[in-house]
Amino acid sequence: MDEIGRGTSTYDGISIAWSIAEYIHNQPKNRAKTLFATHYHELNDMCTFFPRIKNFNVSVKESGNKIIFLRKLAEGGSEHSFGIHVARMAGMPKFVVERANEILKKLEKEHEFEFAEGEDLTINSQEKISPKKSNDMQLSFFQLNDPLLQQIKEDILKIDINTLTPVEALLKLNEIKKLVGG
């Protein structure tokens, strides 16, 4: 499976890819061996929670600001994307590659993402994951540092979904809808 979840927002894509990999892993009858290619570094953590998932990456040799793909699989996940390096190797104009590097650095700085302690995502009743900082950014129509989004996030994180009634959930959803102008 190649690049499942790409072409949508970063977090939607990660969620879709994780869910599909988890579904394939958890099939009791059909224990399919599946090669799953992705640039979502957050999925590297899946091997911690799912015993049949193994990570491999294509080995690279970095020399200064250049890379050489060694065409060899190595065990373990990769924390780096080499899209801009590949663009350079494909012959993109130097000014485009340099500008891409500038934009990447700006996006990484503006959109650093880490969950605070205690803000884990629950996979099921027994397992939790904490996403790592993502270097694989995708442009968004939303300003992620928008104070309104921050307020909504804080409100949602304060909710105890284990004690929330369906009516309270609908009221909270209506409150959020009013906040965003709906």
Q: In the chain, what's the furthest Cα-to-Cα distance? A: 59
Which pLDDT tens digit goes with each residue over 107-120?
A: 777 765 443 334 44
Which pLDDT tens digit goes with each residue over 3-24?
A: 888 888 778 888 898 999 999 8
Q: Which two tokens stand for residue 80?
A: 């780096």
Q: Reduce the DSSP state of residue 96 to 3 states and report it.
A: helix
The backbone region for 158, taken as left when phi is positive above 0, alpha when psi lies in -120 to 50, beta otherwise, is alpha
Which pLDDT tens digit goes with each residue over 39-88?
A: 788 888 888 888 899 999 888 888 877 788 888 888 988 877 788 888 88
Torsions phi, psi for 8 (to 5 deg): -130, -175
Average pLDDT of the residues of the chain: 77
Distance CA 119, CA 18 (A): 18
25 neighbors 53 (Cβ within 8 angstroms): yes
Q: What is the mean pLDDT of residues 129-155?
A: 59
Is the pLDDT reported for residue 132 higher than 50?
no
Task: Say which residues have a Cβ less than 8 Å from residue 39's Cβ, sequence separation at least 6.
Answer: 3, 6, 81, 83, 136
Q: Which two tokens stand for residue 119?
A: 């803000």
Q: What is the mean pLDDT of residues 156-177?
A: 86
What beta strand segments (E) does 39-96 contain?
56-63, 66-75
Query: What pLDDT, on a 0 to 100 scale, did the predictor assign at position 125?
Result: 38
